[in-house]
Chain A
């Protein structure tokens, strides 16, 4: 089930509002397509993000993939656990597998993203 407490991008990231921060990870569909995740390059805290621009990298046994910032803002926190145990993203992409948090973003940009139903329809249309 795709959780409906968050929004999604066409590049398969999810964003969940967490107080003043926006928490970001990749969707279950994305982790399943990537396969076993073996390495996560986290962005640096303090780095500015631009909506739609690559800001970190996930590698799986098969390939390396960019993760795109879903919102413009600044990296406020990163999840060190996925760095030491990248498979956490495969096991729990929506909770323990979060990757970074953004601050100073615009809520209008967040509202523009897809809700879970639209995202599911988008994934089906891509298949």
Chain B
């Protein structure tokens, strides 16, 4: 099992550790619910060093990436990033990723931990011979700092002003005299940043953020936060066997270009299910692989993630539901190992008060 740069920090902070994506990761420190609310109301630090980072460079890099990714790369402006899928030829999802445009010829890609080697090999075999693909994962530290207070905290620590940074844009800032890449992105729904640098600076940055009031949060809270926003998690909502278009993330899929898998992804005939939100009536959670049935007990879908939602005080879930039955408010039941849970198809995000897209000036 691999360890991130923050392993000793997590142990010192009393984290409960568990394997995730090949790494020994913190699940919780103080408790999932506390960390969840601290992120929504204050600011939390997440160790995301387990994730993979690649640099893609060369005069054909843009065209190559437009073939490998479902999102349109050629129209991304310098200083912006975009969410998209790496699809297989059958239209399934090899991984979901974030692509940063550094310049016309240079890009930075962030992928999931467990899939990074497979991603690297797949991309390497599908780009031009003169496009350079470099795996930066081993030497790159990544921290997510998320929550309304994160803006003030990082502005205190960074040398350049961050106020102009809009949602899904990034900049090279300066910390301890060296460059630090920060993007206004994240996986919680709150305003916040993903920060990339080397190990030494990352450890210092983490401690400085804690001194300014940020608290660590584990993968447990990361999961409940993303679920309340309806964000997909690779291996649950996204997989090689599930058509990327069924995820419903239309903005991540460009229909006016050729990319690997596009014939299947862009043909509506292949879309039989749609990723949907399920709002349960009670606190009891549905879990991955529980069956969704209609009021006459006919199977209409499958749960991919589910949990108690701290913000809503009741259980929520994501499920692939037969496309023809996907309408908000439709009453369903979830068959779990032990029970049948009543609920309905819901719009998303489940949590409507998130700050991710708000104006930065409100938080400075």
Contact = CB atoms under 8 A, between A and B. Distances in A.
Interface of A: 35-36, 38-39, 41, 57, 59, 61-64, 86, 90
A64 B33 contact: no
A35 B28 contact: yes
Contacts of B89: none
B338 A64 contact: yes
Contact of B31 (A36, A41, A59, A86): A36
B338 A61 contact: no
Nearest to A83: B283
B308 A38 contact: yes
13 contacts: A35-B31, A35-B32, A36-B31, A36-B32, A38-B285, A41-B284, A61-B33, A61-B220, A61-B310, A62-B27, A62-B220, A64-B338, A86-B283
A39 B220 contact: no
B150 interface: no
B271 to A, nearest CB: 32
A82 to B, nearest CB: 12
Contacts of B308: 38-39, 59, 61
B283 A36 contact: no
A62 B32 contact: yes
Interface in B264-314: 282-285, 287, 307-308, 310
B224 interface: yes
Contacts of A86: 283
A39 B282 contact: yes
Contacts of B285: 38-39, 59, 64
Contact of A61 (B224, B282, B284, B337): B224
A62 B16 CA distance: 13
A86 B338 CA distance: 19
Contacts of A35: 16, 28, 31-32, 220
Contacts of B287: 63-64
Contacts, number: 40
Contacts of B32: 35-36, 61-62
A39 B315 CA distance: 10
Interface of B: 16, 27-28, 31-33, 220, 224, 282-285, 287, 307-308, 310, 315, 337-338
Contacts of B33: 36, 61
A67 to B, nearest CB: 12
A90 B34 CA distance: 13
A59 B282 CA distance: 12
Contacts of B315: 38
B314 to A, nearest CB: 9
A59 B284 contact: yes
A38 B31 CA distance: 12
B143 to A, nearest CB: 23
A105 B32 CA distance: 38
Chain A CB within 10 A, most for which of B28, B31, B287, B308: B308
A113 B310 CA distance: 36
Contacts of B28: 35
A35 to B, nearest CB: 6
Contacts of A59: 283-285, 308
A41 B220 CA distance: 23
Nearest to A61: B32
A41 B338 CA distance: 11
Given A36-B33, A39-B308, 15 more contacts: A35-B28, A35-B220, A38-B315, A39-B282, A39-B283, A41-B284, A59-B283, A61-B32, A61-B307, A61-B308, A62-B27, A64-B285, A64-B287, A64-B337, A64-B338
A36 B337 CA distance: 21
Contacts of A62: 27, 32, 220
A86 B31 CA distance: 14
